[in-house]
Structure 1
Amino acid sequence: MRIFGRQIRSSELFMFFFMYLVANYVVIKIQQRRHSVVLRAAEYDTSGHLVDTSQNGPDNSEHQQPGVQNDQPPPAKPIASPVVKGGLAGVDDLDLATDVPPHEETNWVFKDEQGNVVDVQPKGVVDDANNLPPEVNYDDYTESENDDTGKPRLKTILFWNTFFTAPDFRFGFGHQPFLEAKCPVHTCRTTNDRKQVEKADAIVFHGPRIEDFPPVVRRPGQIYVYIQQEPHYSMSSEELPAFQGFFNLTITHRTDSDIQIPYGRVVYDEASIKPKPIHVNPKSRHKTVVWAVSHCSTPSRREWYMKELQKYIDIDVYGACGDMECSKDDYLYCFSKFEKEYRFYVAMENNYCKDYISEKVYRALLYKMVPIVFGGGNYTYGTPPHSVIDIADFQHPRDLAKYLLYLSNNDKAYNKYFAWKTTGYILEHQRKVIMGDAFCRLCEILHDPNYKYKDYRDLKRWWVNGMCDAYTIPRWRKKMKW
C-alpha cells in the first residue's frame, strides 16, 4: 500500500492501528479513574464517635454486613451507593443504610484524597436560616427522627449544583415551595448550602453541570438523585462518566425514570370545556409554513427532510439557518407574528431521542398554528389529541406537502386541529409547575420507608445506550428513495 507516495508495509499499518487502540484505551481509563473517585469518610465506633485509627492501628474491616440487624447505626464508610450491590433493592436491603446520622457536628470529618482534613466551602449558598419565607415557622418542625415533641421531621434536599442558571432548580428554597406546590407530602426543605451535606437526606445533581463530584462524605442512607431534562446530546457522551453505583434515583424526561420531568403534558379537566369551538380561517393567512431554527446541522439530519420538503411547498426559514429574522429573545412577539401569517409551524427535534418532546412543540401548541413534528417521543400521549402533524405518518415529503395544501384549502379539516382547546384538555408547560410536581414526588419518596430504591451500576449505559437514534432522516431517505 502506498500513502503519500511512500510504500507502507502491512506490519507497519498493523502497528499503527495497535498503538491507536492502546492510546484510546489509556485515555478511557484515565477518564474513568478521574470520575470514579472513591468516597472518603470518617470511621465511627458503634456509639457514633470518631475512631482515631492512627492510635489504634489498622482499620477494623469487620463491620456489620448487609441484612444483619443492629440497634446502633452502622459505621460510616466509603460507599458508592447506600443500596446493596445487586440491582433493584427492597427495604430489607436498606438495613445497612439507616437514616440516623451522628448528632454532633464534630462527628463529621471531611477529607481529601490524601486523607487530610479539609473545610468544605459552599458556593453561592442560600442560607435557609437567614432566608426563611414569612409563612413558615420552622419551630413547628424538627430535623431529628427521635423527637418526642410530635413535630413532623423535615427531610432535607440539597441542591449540589445549579439547574442551568437556577440555583434553586426553579423550585425554590426552604419549606415554603412544597406548600405552594400543594404537595401531598410537604414535610421537606431544600437548600444549596453544602455545609449541610451531612444532614441531607437526598442530594440532587444536575447532570450537565456536575462539579466537585462526588462529595467528600456520604453518610449511610443518603440518596443521590441525578436530574437532567435534555437528552445526553446536550453534553458530550465521551465526557459523561459512568457514575458507577452512585445514584439511586433519576429525574429525566424519559418515562422509565424514577420521576419524569417532561417539557409539557396534557391534563383533562371537564371544567375547562368550552361550548363555542375555536374557528380559524386558513385562507386568511397568506403564508403556509414557517420554521424558526438556529441549529443548521443536527444529529437527526432534520435539515435533509426540510430541504426535500421545500421542493413541494413554500417554507419561510427564520434564524441562523434562513434568510429571515425575528428576535430569538422575544419568542412571544415572534409567535404572535407567525400566528397572523402562517398556518403551520415546524417543530422538528434536532435529536431523535427516546420520549423526548421539547419545549418547541408545547410552545407552538399555545398558538393557533398546527405544529409539524418529528422526534422519538410518543405524540399520542405527549400532546393533545389530533393537535400535531407527525412526518412519520407520511411515506414521502411530497405526501406531507400535499396534505398541508389540502388543509390550507379545507376549513373544516384544518380547524379539527384546534378542537382540543375547547373539549376539556389543558396543556401544562410551565417549568415551575412540572418541577414542583417532581420535587413533591421526591419528598413523598423520602418519607416512604417501603420505597424500593435503585442502584444504577452504570448510569452512562442507562442514559446513553440506545437512547438516541442519530442519522434517522438519511435512513428514511434511503428507504423512501428520495
Structure 2
Amino acid sequence: MSSAPAHRILHLILLGSFVEGCLVCLFFLCYDPSAISILDPVNSPEQTEQGKRVVPKKSNDVVPNSNDDVITVLMWLWPFGVKHELNNCSCLFNIKGCFFTGDRNFYNQADGVIFHHRDLDEDQFNLPKLNRPAFQKWIWMNMESPTNTPRIPTIENLFNLTVSYRQDSTIPVPYGFIEAADGKEEFVLPRKNKLVCWIVSNWKEELVRVKYFNELQKHIKVDTYGSAFGKYVPGVEYWSIITSCKFYLSFENSIHRDYITEKFYNPLSVGTVPVVLGPPRHNYENVIQGDAFIHVDDFSSPKELADHLLLLDKNEEMYLRFFEWKRYFKARRTMFVTEQICLTCDYLRRHKEYETLSNFKEWFWEN
C-alpha cells in the first residue's frame, strides 16, 4: 500500500473517531429523562377518547405526571420518506414536554398534525379519515420555493398553521440564523487560496443564476465544483472548499421573497463572503447587516461585480470589513427536521386560539 492511501485511511479513521466522540458527548449533554419523544412506538394508545390526549407508557419512556403538560405532535408524512428520532428539544432549544411520533394511532390525541407538502403532493389522498378533533391543528410544512413547490388545489382552507422559511409563516423556520456570539472575540480570517468559488449540482441554462455565472466567468476566475461541473464534492471536502475561498457565489435556484437558503449561511459561518443572487438586498438585511455580504443587484453588470471583487482581493483592509459583524454575532444552519418540530411544539403550547389558512394560493405562490 502506498503512503498516500495509507495516510488518507488514517485520516478517515481519526475523523470517524472524532465524530463518534462528538455524538457521544451530544447524547450526554442532551439527555433529559423528563423530555418526551417517540419514534413510531410499538404500543398503541391505551385509550382513544375523542378530545383527550393520553400518552401511553413504554418501559423506556418517562411520562410526566400530568398529561396537560405534554404537547403531542404527529408527523403524518415523513419529509421525503426519511424518519427522524427527535428527543433533544429540551437540550437544544429549552423546549420541554414535547411528545413526537409518527404513529397514526395517536391521531385523536395529537395537538398538531404535520403534513410535508412534497410528500402530500405525491399522495394527495393519504389524509386522515377520522374527523379532526376540535383542539387539533393541521400544520403545512414546506422549505422549497414556490417555483419548486407543486400546486395542490385541494389544500385551500385545509390547514390551520404553516411552518416554512417564509418570515410571515405562523412558525417561521429559515434556513439559518444569525445569533449573538458567546463573547466579543477577535475574528481570525481562515487561510484563503482561492478568490471565487461555486459548488452547484442543479444546472439549467434558463436559470437566472446560470446566465449570470456564464457572463461573470468571462471577467474573473471562478473555481467551480459539484455535479454540474463533473466534480462531485463529498461532505468531508465541502466545508474546506468554501473556507478556502475569499468569496462564494450564494446563487439561489429561484428568486422569491425570503428564499435565502444554506447557500448564504454556510459561507457566513466559516468566514467567507457570500456574493448573493436572490431576493432584493433589503430582504437579506432582515437577516444580517448589509456590510456582511455582496449583492449582485448593487452592480450594473457581472463585469462591474468582477472588477469590484478583484479590487477587494488587493485591498485586505476593505475585505476584512465584511467580517466586523463576527465580533458580536455568529451564523448557524437550521437543524432540519428537529428545529421545525421543536418550534411547532413550542407554538402549540403557547397558542390555543383557532385559525385557518385562507387564500393559501395567493399567500405562497402569488405573493
**Counterpart in 2 of 1:356?**
259
C-alpha contact (below 8 Å) 2:57/2:63 kept by paired residues: no
Match of 1:396 among 286, 294, 301: 301
1:195 equivalenced with 2:105 (yes/no): yes
Change in Cα spacing, 1:107 to 1:392, as seen in structure 2 (3 Å) is closer
- C-alpha distance in 2, partners of 1:443/1:357? 24
Match of 1:460 among 358, 361, 365: 361
- C-alpha distance in 2, partners of 1:223/1:392? 41
Q: Which runs of 5+ in 2 are unaligned?
A: 1-45
Q: Which amino acid aligns with 2:222?
A: I
Structure 1 residue matching 2:228: 3-state secondary structure: coil
Of 306-315 and 455-464, the range deviating more from structure 2: 455-464
Q: How does 1:52-71 map to 2 (within 5 A)?
A: none
Deviations 1:27-71 (A, max 9, x none): xxxxxxxxxxxxxxxxxxxxxxxxxxxxxxxxxxxxxxxxxxxxx
Change in Cα spacing, 1:364 to 1:396, as seen in structure 2 (3 Å) is same
C-alpha contact (below 8 Å) 2:175/2:262 kept by paired residues: yes
Aligned residues: 313
- C-alpha distance in 1, partners of 2:228/2:349? 50
**Counterpart in 2 of 1:278?**
188
- C-alpha distance in 2, partners of 1:459/1:465? 9
C-alpha contact (below 8 Å) 1:242/1:460 kept by paired residues: no
Deviations 1:246-296 (A, max 9, x none): 101000100110011111011124x4211x3424676xx3x4222211122
> Deviation at 1:208?
0.7
- C-alpha distance in 1, partners of 2:246/2:195? 5
Q: Which amino acid aligns with 1:255?
A: Q
- C-alpha distance in 2, partners of 1:447/1:369? 39
> Deviation at 1:371?
1.5
**Counterpart in 1 of 2:213?**
306
- C-alpha distance in 1, partners of 2:89/2:60? 13
**Counterpart in 1 of 2:168?**
256
**Counterpart in 2 of 1:221?**
135
> Deviation at 1:335?
3.2
C-alpha contact (below 8 Å) 1:384/1:425 kept by paired residues: no
> Deviation at 1:458?
4.1
Change in Cα spacing, 1:430 to 1:182, as seen in structure 2 (3 Å) is closer
> Deviation at 1:189?
1.2
C-alpha contact (below 8 Å) 1:347/1:373 kept by paired residues: yes
C-alpha contact (below 8 Å) 2:71/2:111 kept by paired residues: yes
**Counterpart in 2 of 1:164?**
80
Structure 1 residue matching 2:331: 3-state secondary structure: strand
Structure number having the greater helix percentage: 2
Task: Kindly name which structure, 1 or 2, has the bigger radius of gyration based on alpha carbons.
Answer: 1
Of 313-322 and 201-210, the range deviating more from structure 2: 313-322
C-alpha contact (below 8 Å) 1:357/1:382 kept by paired residues: no
- C-alpha distance in 2, partners of 1:346/1:247? 36
> Deviation at 1:392?
1.0
- C-alpha distance in 2, partners of 1:326/1:163? 25
> Deviation at 1:374?
0.9
> Deviation at 1:362?
1.2
Match of 2:238 among 323, 334, 339: 334
> Deviation at 1:299?
6.2
Change in Cα spacing, 1:343 to 1:106, as seen in structure 2 (3 Å) is closer
Structure 1 residue matching 2:153: 3-state secondary structure: coil
Q: Which runs of 5+ in 1 are unaligned?
A: 1-102, 109-126, 143-151, 467-482
> Deviation at 1:321?
3.1
- C-alpha distance in 1, partners of 2:200/2:269? 18
Q: Which amino acid aligns with 1:250?
A: T
Match of 2:268 among 349, 356, 365: 365
Change in Cα spacing, 1:132 to 1:231, as seen in structure 2 (3 Å) is farther
Structure number having the greater strand percentage: 2
Q: TM-score, normalised by structure 2?
A: 0.76
Change in Cα spacing, 1:464 to 1:338, as seen in structure 2 (3 Å) is closer
- C-alpha distance in 2, partners of 1:425/1:405? 27
- C-alpha distance in 1, partners of 2:252/2:216? 16
- C-alpha distance in 2, partners of 1:255/1:452? 20
> Deviation at 1:364?
1.7
Change in Cα spacing, 1:350 to 1:299, as seen in structure 2 (3 Å) is farther
> Deviation at 1:192?
0.9
Q: How well do the aligned residues superpose, as a CA RMSD in angstroms?
A: 2.9
> Deviation at 1:206?
0.8
Change in Cα spacing, 1:104 to 1:345, as seen in structure 2 (3 Å) is closer
1:177 equivalenced with 2:88 (yes/no): yes
C-alpha contact (below 8 Å) 2:209/2:251 kept by paired residues: yes
**Counterpart in 1 of 2:223?**
316
1:443 equivalenced with 2:355 (yes/no): no
Change in Cα spacing, 1:154 to 1:411, as seen in structure 2 (3 Å) is same
Match of 1:375 among 278, 294, 305: 278
Structure 1 residue matching 2:179: 3-state secondary structure: strand
- C-alpha distance in 1, partners of 2:170/2:206? 27
Structure 2 residue matching 1:419: 3-state secondary structure: helix
> Deviation at 1:334?
3.3
Match of 2:178 among 237, 248, 266: 266
Change in Cα spacing, 1:418 to 1:446, as seen in structure 2 (3 Å) is closer
Structure 2 residue matching 1:226: 3-state secondary structure: strand
Q: How many percent of aligned residue pairs carry the same amino acid? A: 26
- C-alpha distance in 2, partners of 1:128/1:394? 60
**Counterpart in 2 of 1:138?**
63
Q: TM-score, normalised by structure 1?
A: 0.59
Match of 1:409 among 314, 335, 338: 314
**Counterpart in 2 of 1:98?**
none
**Counterpart in 2 of 1:231?**
145
> Deviation at 1:162?
0.6
- C-alpha distance in 1, partners of 2:80/2:56? 21
Change in Cα spacing, 1:165 to 1:259, as seen in structure 2 (3 Å) is same
Change in Cα spacing, 1:407 to 1:187, as seen in structure 2 (3 Å) is same
